[in-house]
């Protein structure tokens, strides 16, 4: 994440903008979630790209990315931030959809799911 992210968020918030952000969730520990809250970030969208950790991690280019994304969503929940999942469902749509739906339900987050062509799934 940008070193000045919270400064930018606070600047926008102070000028009446509704500040939201999207992230892989990799750096969303409790401290960062609290800093984002205090800076006025109103919602955080975290990408979940596959139910398969190897596929998600490969897509993100970092080992352990899926686990960190789910933990980041939990950290935002714990800090009182609205959460959304913005997954890209690819090669295993049914399994991925079920996984993301389960994570969404457990973490009380809103899910906006797109298929491999970028269309929203119902």
**Does a structural domain hold residue 119?**
no
Q: Which phi and psi (to 5°) does residue 19 adopt?
A: -90, 125
Q: What whole-number distance in Å separates Cα of residue 34 and Cα of residue 51?
A: 27
Q: Is the pLDDT score of 89 beyond 50?
A: no
Domain count, the chain: 1
* pLDDT, tens only, 16-26: 999 999 888 89
pLDDT of res. 102: 65
* pLDDT, tens only, 35-83: 999 999 988 888 877 778 898 899 899 999 999 988 988 898 888 876 5
pLDDT higher at 13 or 80:
13
Question: For position 69, which CATH number holds?
Answer: 3.80.30.10
Range of the domain at 42: 5-111
**Does a structural domain hold residue 120?**
no
pLDDT of res. 79: 86
**Does a structural domain hold residue 116?**
no
**Does a structural domain hold residue 16?**
yes
Which region, left, alpha or beta, applies to residue 46 given φ > 0 means left and ψ of -120 to 50 means alpha? beta
**Does a structural domain hold residue 61?**
yes
**Does a structural domain hold residue 122?**
no
Buried b (16+ CB within 10 A) or exposed e, 39-65: bbbebbbbbbbbbbeebbbebbeeeeb
**Does a structural domain hold residue 44?**
yes
**Does a structural domain hold residue 72?**
yes
Q: Is the pLDDT score of 107 beyond 50?
A: yes
């Amino acid at each position: 994440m940008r070193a000045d992210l919270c400064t930018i968020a606070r600047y926008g918030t102070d000028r009446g903008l509704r500040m939201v952000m999207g992230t892989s969730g990799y750096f969303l520990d409790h401290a960062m979630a609290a800093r984002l809250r205090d800076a006025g970030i109103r919602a955080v969208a975290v990408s979940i790209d596959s139910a398969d950790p190897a596929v998600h991690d490969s897509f993100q280019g970092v080992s352990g990315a899926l686990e960190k994304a789910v933990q980041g969503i939990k950290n935002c929940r714990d800090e009182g931030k609205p959460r959304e999942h913005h997954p890209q469902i690819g090669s295993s749509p049914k399994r991925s959809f079920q996984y993301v739906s389960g994570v969404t339900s457990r973490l009380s987050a809103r899910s906006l799911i797109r298929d491999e062509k970028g269309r929203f799934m119902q």
